[in-house]
Amino acid sequence: MPKESFKKLVKKSVCNFAFEMLKQECKLQSKTKELTYNEFKTQNYLSSMKPKMAKFISQARSQTIDIKTHSKFKYSDTDCRLCGIDEESLEHIVKCLDKSHILDIHESLNNCKNILELETIAHQVDKFIDLVSN
């Protein structure tokens, strides 16, 4: 096996393992309703991100970001608070501010193949939340 594919394979296995951990964590969380992110920090692919950004990624995965389609109980509609045109979903808010982002969000979040994509998602979420909460 070429060295590069071996490296990819190892990275993917680590990623999958981390994601399994995260899924278990989420299950646990929904039962206890306790939000603790200590576990996340120890995970390989999130440890290189700032805690605030890593938190957005874990929230994106568990669909608990403070946006309309995630926090439906808080809002009476799902219209985007910035453009008012599209539904305020995770997919949308990543694109709302900067149309150049053509990421497959679910793909990025599920297989964590690319830390840069995760960071892009986290930053866009951060910007969006910042703008709508002011």
Lay out the site mask for Zn ion across 11-30 (x = CB under 5 A, - = otherwise). Answer: --------------------
Q: Binding segment for Zn ion among 17-25, 26-34, 53-61, 77-85 (CB under 5 A)?
A: 77-85
CA atoms of 77 and 93, how far apart (whole Å): 15
Q: Does 35 bind Zn ion (CB under 5 A)?
A: no
Number of H helices and E strands in the chain, helices first, is: 6, 0
CA atoms of 46 and 56, how far apart (whole Å): 11
Q: Say if CB 86 and CB 69 are below 8 A apart.
A: no
Placement of tokens 């568990």 in the chain: 62
CA atoms of 23 and 109, how far apart (whole Å): 12
Question: Contact with Zn ion (CB under 5 A): which of 90, 96, 103, 122?
Answer: 96
Q: Does 67 bind Zn ion (CB under 5 A)?
A: no
Q: Does 131 bind Zn ion (CB under 5 A)?
A: no
User: With respect to Zn ion, which residue has the nearer C-beta, 1 or 102?
Assistant: 102
CB of 80 to Zn ion, least distance (A): 3
Residues in contact with Zn ion by the rule CB under 5 A: 80, 82-83, 96
